[in-house]
Structures are given as structure tokens and as C-alpha cells.
Chains A and B, each alone.
Chain A
Amino acid sequence: MSTTIENTAEAMTDGSVDLLRFATAGSVDDGKSTLIGRLLFDSKTIFEDQLDSVEQVSQDRGNDYTDLALLTDGLRAEREQGITIDVAYRYFATPKRKFIIADTPGHIQYTRNMVTGASTADVALILVDARKGVIEQSRRHTFLATLLGVPHIVVCVNKMDLVDYAEDVFESIRKDFTEFASRLRVPDLTFIPISALEGDNVVNRSENTPWYDGPALLSHLERLHVASDRNLMDVRFPVQYVIRPQSHDARDYRGYAGTVASGVMKPGDKVVALPAGLETTIEAIDTADGPVEEAYPPMAVTVRLADEIDISRGDMIARPNNTPAALQNIDAQICWMDSDSALVKGKKYAIKHTTRWARAMVKDINYRVDVNTLHRDEEATEIKLNEIGRIQLRVTQPLFVDPYQQNPQTGSFILVDESTNKTVAAGMIGGLPHSS
């Protein structure tokens, strides 16, 4: 084992540690479980009793080696069938960052799970088997990551030990991948040659790849600059809840509670409340720990305004010269997530966008995208489980939206089946992230 990572209590409490969320995608054989196992193990996140339990189960089954995949397969059905059903969340920390891993299985319901994991990810980790090169699945995962607007993609060319750590193998994969990715909008693409099994370039830089002058995976994840990915330009504050204390000492208090979706808000800023369109000024930004001088994403705050205007949940606060579009006709990409139904023209759903619920009808299906070839089928009449398509919706009331690629917080929505109450689709407003 390579050098362990030290968790220090001080770093956790002094505020110098920030949060990075990454999604991993891969299938059974590409070493994803081994890679996650190594990151958890080397960061001392796997506990002795967890390891004991996994070793015991491996022995009971007559396995020759300790199956680290058992650490991440949580449900009985998964262990019995040797498959992964759902997105699992893992946590580890170094002195620089806390990491949340959304671990998504590659084989069944891959699109639904990958979309779920990628929706909150700063980074997508894509594993490529050095022996196999860029395959259909690599393309699919990359397409989904860009569709969801994940700002950083790290391609781990794994199993380098099985190709004798050959530079030309790595370079050829890098070339293929870059060529494919140029058809998509990938803001930041990095390639790292690794062996998850041997630990090469995972936590420490490997001596087996002297031709590689980049960082090991973990140092890359620790240093990735993600702060600038957040939209600090466009003030968007969806009102979540109105706080009006029913007590004697705070009777006149009226505050609008919510999470800053984007932009930086300050007391004194001129703002407009939508849909009313009335302009006023931010009087104060409160938190339970006292007022703050500014609020930025993802802070949860309570805004007080200078004038009494009628604002309720679902309304949006923005700047008068920079407002989202108020749209009732929505052009969106959707990923269908329900196994029991399909999206068809004319069907009605409940729609949730920021803190606002409305009803939506499918006006048209423009096309369905083949996630493997990116081919658009314009004859498609329905969109089923794990399929992606571009559709037109008519919503019962205006939504205050931005294009998803510009602002994921105000560019995303979910569709909910009104009879079963199940979440059936994830929607992204605006067209495909194609460069064309």
C-alpha cells in the first residue's frame, strides 16, 4: 500500500476544507470498484469491521481474494445477484477536501443512474480499460456527463500494468477520446494513466510511468479549481419559504428564506421580485448566526426587503437588469427514468422547477438521441426508460428559467406522474451541448 492520507481534525473544523462531488461511471470489469476501494482504503475510510465483514463473506463464498466490490454493494439483492442496483454515495476526506462520490453502476439502468449521479457532480470520473481503448460505453458516459453539464471530466486510463505502462497505448487512447469529445462541450478534460489494482498514479505518482508528468488522481481532485464553475454573475434566489414569526418579540419580521441558486447578493442591492415584477432593495440578509454581508451559492439564507410586497414560495428574486426568462413554452432535453411508463405527445405531468410546481403538457417530441452514437431519431413517438430526447412542453404558468448549460439551478426540472407520484423524468432547458 502506498502512503496513507492523514485526516486532521483541525482541517475539518477551521473552514479551510471545501467540498467536491464527483461521479464515477463504469461497468463490472473496468476496475471502478477497485479504484473506489483504493481511494477509500488509502484515505483510511474503510473501517476494520467493514473489511472483516467483507473478508468473511468472500471466504464464505470460496473466493480466492477479498472482493472489494462487496464494500460498495449494499443491498441483499445486489450481493445475491452480484450486481449493483442503484447509485451509492461514498465519503472520504483529505486535509484539503471532503469528497462525495456518487458511485453509479454501468450495466443496468445505466443512464438513469448516471444522470442522477452527474446532476450534482463537479467532476465525472470515466474509466477506460487500457487494453480495450475508447469503447461505446466511454462515449455514452461522456455524453451524459456533458449533457448534465459536469464541468470537469477526468479520464482514468486504467489497467496500465496490463499494457506494460506503455506511453503509446495511453497517447493513442487520449487521441481517440479527445477526437470524440471535440463533438461535445467539455470545458475541462484530463487524462491520467493509472492502475487501480497496483495503485499507480492513484494517490501517489508512479515510477512506472516516467513519461507522464501530470499529477496522480487524488492530487488532481484535491487541486481542481471548482469555485469558478459556480455562476456568481446572475442573481437568482427562488423563494422557498416565508418566515413570519408568530411571537411577540418578532411580530413585524417578514423574511424570504431560500438557497442562493446563483449570483452574489448584498444588502442595498436593487432587486426585482418575479412574477410580480416589483422592484425593491435588499434590506438585510439574515442567518441564524446573524446578518451577513453577502450571500452566494449554495448558502441558505433569509432575505428581508425594504418594501412590503406580496411574495410567496415559488417566486424568484433577481436583479432588475438581469432577469431569467419567464416562459410557458419550454424547449428541453429530458432523460426518462420510469420503467412503467413512457413519455408520449399530449400527456400531462406535474413539473417541479426550483421551488415552483406547475402542470405541463407534452406538445411535441422533436427527436430521441441514441446515447451511444449521438444519432437523432426524428421519427420517435415516445421516450422510454433510460432514453434521452428533446421535447416541447406547455406549462400552466410561467417558469423563470435560464438555459441549463448557463445555469443548472434554474435550467433544470423534474416531471412527476400525477397518478403514481413517481419522479419520471429529469429535464434540462435548452438544446444539446453540441458545439455545432
Chain B
Amino acid sequence: MTSHVLSQLRSLEAESIHIIREVVAEMQRPVLLFSGGKDSIVMLHIAAKAFAPARIPFPIMHVDTGLNFPTVLACRDRWVENLGIQLVVASVQDAIDRGLVQEEPNGSRNRIQTPVLLEAIEKNGFDAAFGGGRRDEEKARAKERVFSFRDDFGQWDPKNQRPEIWSLYNGRVHQGESIRVFPLSNWTELDIWSYIAAEEIDIPDLYLAQEREVVNRDGMLFAVNEFTPLKEGETSETRSVRYRTVGDANLTAAVESDATTLQAIVEETAAVRVTERGATRGDDKVSEAAMEDRKREGYF
């Protein structure tokens, strides 16, 4: 007789499948927010599992900042093709050209993604948007529900969240309101990597270590490329680096690493002592409450 105990990764996977199916069964028009990063890829992989042998019954949406690493876009297109799903692209560059948003002085398009995202959700009539956020990422996220209610301005009100008891999720909304759904809420960075390794999931090669030309700016290593060219007076060097997160190409830094395989990344992640955002994301270092503020405005 077997023990009838599910391993923790399979328990997390089952919970995520349950959440995704619940949304599809109850909401009118869900969409999956896809960034091309590891978390949204894992979420998409699990969504495909939830409806097999049928196709995923909702589109995915990429809020395209125009600052993507080319290999991330290539990976996105492979997933769209392999799963036979519809891709909606909401372009930040287009929104800048139309005057919906303005470029920020520091070159970050992180914050101005929000109006673009909200516009696309409204225009397409999406009433539920899956996001790959995890509660272990950040303190504000640790208190967010799996089904996170958004008012008709797309705003999150942390003090007025719906209680979430057992796995009885409540996605009821009025016209114009929506929910963000986080199927990976209970996953940690280590879980994500363990799962990618176990399932051999296709991810952008940026996550794997290789020799890259980098420049050191305030302790953060940026790969020298068309998004982050060498500034005057800077010198570059060649180091074995990889990316722990994949954000905008002009702001995402690499970390020194010899992890050239998925299993090596799992081992490195288990031993690492700095959060992924702290290590690599210039855009998250703005203030202690940066994430909370962006989430209130309607960020992912």
C-alpha cells in the first residue's frame, strides 16, 4: 500500500491547478499575464496541465515595455506556438506614442506599465487576470489574497481584502471590477526552480550562467548590450553570470554564478542569502513601500 502523501511540490502544483480551474469555471473572461519570466512560465505550464487534453481556454497577455531581452521574446513565442494559445500584446511604447503615459526620467518603464495594463484589461473586458506573484517575494505580497479584488480603477485596498477561508474562493465582481489571481502564492523561489528542473520547463537561456561582458554599477552587474551600453569612463569585464529575474533589459542586473544547468540553479538558490529582487532589480530599490504603492495603483 502506498502512503497517500503527496510531495510538497506536487501539493503546490495541485493547489495551483485547483485555483486556475476555479477561475475558468466562475469568471467570464480570464487572461494570464505573461512576462516571459520564470514565474509566469511555470504558471502557464501548470495552466496547460489543468485543462489537458484540451487547450488552455483563455488568452495570455504580455505587457510589452519595449525593453525585452530578445531571447525572452523568442521563448514567449515558442510557448504561444506550442500551446496554440492566443497572445494579446499591450505595448508600452505605443502608449507613450499615444500620450497615455510618459517616459520616466530614470528610464524605468516599470511604473508606467500599470496604466497600460489597466487599459488593456478594460478594453478587452477581462474580469480576471492571473499573475505569477509569490508571497515570499515581498512583504506586501505576503498579505495579498490568492483571489485579490480590484475596484473599477484597478486598485488594491490592502485594508479591505475579502477573507479567504479554506479553498473556497470568491471571485464575484460587479461590472468593471476585476480580480487578480495568484496561483503561485504559496511557492518560494526554490520551489519554482525545483519544479522547473523536475519538469524540464523551457525558460529563457538568460537564467543559465555563461561568460558575459558586464559592467559593475554600484555593486550590480549589468550585461553590456544595446540596452545597457558602456558609459563614458566605465570599463567592462568578462564574468560568468546569470539572471535571477528577467525584467526590463535596461534595469535588470545579473549575478555571478557558475550554474549552467537547472539542477545547479536549484542548488545555488538553496544556498543564496539575498532576495532575488534585492540582488537584481534597480526598480524595486526605490523605497521600503515601493511594491505596496505600485500594487495599490494596480500593478501586477
Contacts and interface: CB of A to CB of B under 8 A. Distances in A.
For the residues of A in contact with B, the DSSP-based class is: mixed
Nearest to B199: A289
B294 interface: no
Contact of B21 (A72, A88, A241): A241
A86 B135 contact: no
Contacts, number: 213
Nearest to B172: A421
Nearest to A350: B172
B170 A421 contact: yes
A221 interface: no
A253 B22 CA distance: 21
Contacts of B78: none
B159 A85 contact: yes
B165 A426 contact: yes
Interface in B1-58: 2-15, 17-18, 21-22, 24-25, 48-55
A101 B36 CA distance: 30
Interface in A32-71: 44, 47-50, 53, 57, 71
A95 to B, nearest CB: 10
A240 interface: yes
A89 B274 contact: no
A426 B163 contact: yes
Contact of B292 (A71, A75, A299): A75
Contacts of A90: 136, 142
Contacts of B135: 89, 91
A112 B44 CA distance: 33
Interface string B255-294: 0000000010011011111110011000000001100100
Nearest to A12: B194
B18 A259 contact: yes
B55 A247 contact: yes
- Chain A, interface size category, equals 35 or more
A17 interface: yes
Given A12-B9, A100-B186, A257-B50, A423 B266 contact: no
B198 to A, nearest CB: 5
Nearest to A46: B273
A300 B159 CA distance: 32
Nearest to B174: A421
B142 to A, nearest CB: 5
A15 B165 contact: no
B170 A288 contact: no
Nearest to B7: A15
B269 to A, nearest CB: 8
Contact of B165 (A12, A57, A119, A244): A119
Interface of A: 7-9, 12-13, 15-19, 44, 47-50, 53, 57, 71-77, 79, 85-91, 93, 97-98, 100, 112, 115-116, 119-120, 227, 230, 232, 240-241, 243-247, 250, 253, 257-259, 264, 286-289, 294, 296, 298-300, 302, 313, 337, 350, 352-353, 355, 408-409, 412-414, 416, 421-423, 426
Given A257-B51, A300-B17, 9 more contacts: A13-B9, A17-B8, A72-B142, A74-B142, A75-B159, A88-B142, A88-B143, A227-B3, A241-B24
